[in-house]
Amino acid sequence: MSEQHNFDLVVIGGGPGGYVAAIRAAQLGMKVACVDAFKGKDGGKMALGGTCLNVGCIPSKAMLDSSRQFHNLTHMFGDHGITADNAKIDVKTMVGRKDKIVKQFNGGVAGLFKANKVTAFHGFGSLHKGNVVKVKAHDGKDVELKGTNVILAAGSVSIELPFAKYDQKHIVDNIGVLDFESTPKRLGVIGAGVVGLEMGSVWRRLGAEVTILEALPDFLAAADADVAKVAMKEFKKQGLDIKLGCKVSKAEVKKNEVHLTYSDGKDDQKLVVDKLLVAVGRRAATEGLLGEDCGVKLTDRGFIEVDEHCHTGVDGVWAIGDCVRGPMLAHKASEEGIAVAEMIAGLPGHIDFNTVPWVIYTEPELAWVGQTEKQLKEAGIEYKVGTFPFAAIGRAVAMNETAGMVKVIAHAETDRILGMHLVGPNVSELVHEGVVAMEFKGSAEDLARICHAHPTLSEAVHEAALAVDKRAIHKQ
């Protein structure tokens, strides 16, 4: 029988949901264990940080940055009088840089665990009756952990299409696409969502011919329609070939190529690529997680069932992050982790889904918070809109990044901000003006009366807020 250890809290999963919950609980005086199964590239050692740090947010942004530098050098710097003949990119060095960043942060999380006295177990955890977590340890030293409380933070994995099984060589998911050894000549992507667009952008900037096949007829249906329209126009200019309403039915690997068959709604079409990224969404990683006797239920979509406080209904068992309902975003997972740790400690934990920001880190970036015009129309809520283009912002012109705009949506009567939608330079940062204003229940007038520094990109937010009341200064 395995050795048993007692903890105030046992967390399964060391991603941004789980590790943040573990640290917050330790800060609040709990004795905490965190079990994580992820094996790092560095000889399979423990690599805390989950999907986000190992094969998600951070490595994708590292590669977006490398590819952006290369693209700017080869395509954008001419206007500044900067030329570099025969500019080249060494993909292995780029991937190595990405791995170094990931490793640095794996060490950072391990350091935070040490500082906060969180005990980490490297292995696969499953939950059983009486809040017992059995750990199948990677070093063979299996243990049982008993938690007064348990948080399930198992995250998610990429959905596999039955006709396009991952071999991580020709047909890849978010893991394989971060580790190509050279730029593929032709990259196919199934799914024009966040992962497809970001990783498609990386390899396009490095010279790949990128074709993105999206089954839905609308581009980025979750985003504001005007923002999505600007983004589509810019992506097309960059050479991303995005085909909407195209359903793939076959993907066969033949002699180092992937042969795709898809329907464009009228006819069957063929596409041949060297690599295929499947990015059609993610599902909760619950395989093997829940012992038959643990009492935790799954929803019909395979997520762990929780109430609005992330409680599973089983005494002392909670679930957070990608493995439960709500947006699959790292910051949402972390906020839930903090809220649950605080609720366990008897504090009023709080999550406001309406002010969770969304970002797509393409060029231009897209970001939004709150509701879209479409959602407000469907809900029968009267609203007014102010927009302002980056083309009329001095700083954006100085940066040569004029595509895009800011849209502020406010309630027709109360003027309270209901949503902010942005597409353009650095909007991943600018969106937080909207988040803060909405958290403080601010109005468009509040934002319009706040002095913004000149010349900055933030002036577009200021002017869009003024435009809600038709008094933008620099708009004809």
Q: Distance between CA atoms of 36 and 230, rounded to whole angstroms?
A: 41
The distance of closest approach from Cβ of residue 455 to ligand FAD in the complex, given in angstroms and rounded to an integer, is 28
Contact flag: residue 154 with ligand FAD (CB under 6 A): yes
Tell me phi and psi for residue 149, to 5 degrees: -130, 150
Q: Distance between CA atoms of 203 and 182, rounded to whole angstroms?
A: 10
Contact flag: residue 438 with ligand FAD (CB under 6 A): no
Contact flag: residue 425 with ligand FAD (CB under 6 A): no
Tell me phi and psi for residue 5, to 5 degrees: -125, 145
152 is in an annotated binding site: no
61 is in an annotated binding site: yes
Contact flag: residue 406 with ligand FAD (CB under 6 A): no
| Contact predicate 359/434, CB 8 Å | no
Contact flag: residue 36 with ligand FAD (CB under 6 A): yes
Contact flag: residue 193 with ligand FAD (CB under 6 A): no
Q: For ligand FAD, which stretch binds (CB under 6 A), given 36-44, 84-92, 96-104, 240-248?
A: 36-44
Q: Distance between CA atoms of 23 and 45, rounded to whole angstroms?
A: 21
Q: Distance between CA atoms of 217 and 245, rounded to whole angstroms?
A: 4
328 is in an annotated binding site: yes
Q: Which of 421, 454, 462, 474 is catalytic?
A: 454
Count residues near ligand FAD (CB under 6 A): 35
Contact flag: residue 56 with ligand FAD (CB under 6 A): yes
Between strands 171-172 and 365-370, the pairing is unpaired
Q: Which residues, numbered 258-287, are part of the site for ligand FAD (CB under 6 A)?
A: 285
Contact pattern for ligand FAD over residues 307 through 346, marking x by CB under 6 A:
--------------xx-----xxxx-x-------------
The distance of closest approach from Cβ of residue 78 to ligand FAD in the complex, given in angstroms and rounded to an integer, is 30
User: How far apart, in Å, are the Cα atoms of 71 and each of 43, 59, 66, 180, 205?
Assistant: 33, 18, 9, 18, 6
Contact flag: residue 174 with ligand FAD (CB under 6 A): yes
Q: Distance between CA atoms of 111 and 452, rounded to whole angstroms?
A: 38
Which CB atom, from 43 or from 81, has the smaller least distance to ligand FAD?
A: 43
Is 452 designated active site? Answer: no
Q: Which of 7, 9, 51, 390 binds ligand FAD (CB under 6 A)?
A: 51
Helix runs in 212-258, H state only: 225-237
The distance of closest approach from Cβ of residue 128 to ligand FAD in the complex, given in angstroms and rounded to an integer, is 12
Please give the single-letter amino acid code of residue 242.
I
Contact flag: residue 191 with ligand FAD (CB under 6 A): no
Which CB atom, from 73 or from 175, has the smaller least distance to ligand FAD?
A: 175
Q: Distance between CA atoms of 75 and 90, rounded to whole angstroms?
A: 18
The distance of closest approach from Cβ of residue 73 to ligand FAD in the complex, given in angstroms and rounded to an integer, is 24
Q: Distance between CA atoms of 290 and 128, rounded to whole angstroms?
A: 7
Contact pattern for ligand FAD over residues 1 through 30, marking x by CB under 6 A:
-----------xxxxxxx------------
Which two tokens mark 267?
A: 């006819």
User: How far apart, in Å, are the Cα atoms of 64 and each of 58, 356, 358, 419?
Assistant: 10, 23, 17, 27
User: How far apart, in Å, are the Cα atoms of 346 and each of 312, 342, 352?
Assistant: 17, 6, 19
Contact flag: residue 190 with ligand FAD (CB under 6 A): no
Q: Which of 26, 63, 150, 153 binds ligand FAD (CB under 6 A)?
A: 153
Contact flag: residue 383 with ligand FAD (CB under 6 A): no
DSSP 443: B
HSE (CB half, 13 Å, CA atoms) of 473? Answer: 8
227 is in an annotated binding site: no
List 126's β-bridge partners, or say none: 134
The distance of closest approach from Cβ of residue 427 to ligand FAD in the complex, given in angstroms and rounded to an integer, is 14
| Contact predicate 234/219, CB 8 Å | no
| 260 membership: H or E segment, kind and range | strand 257-263
Annotated binding site: 61, 125, 191-198, 214, 281, 322, 328-331
Annotated binding site for NAD(+): 191-198, 214, 281
Q: Which residues bind ligand FAD (CB under 6 A)?
A: 12-18, 35-38, 50-52, 56-57, 60, 124-125, 153-156, 174, 195, 285, 289, 321-322, 328-331, 333, 361
Please list the active-site residues: 454
Annotated binding site for FAD: 61, 125, 322, 328-331
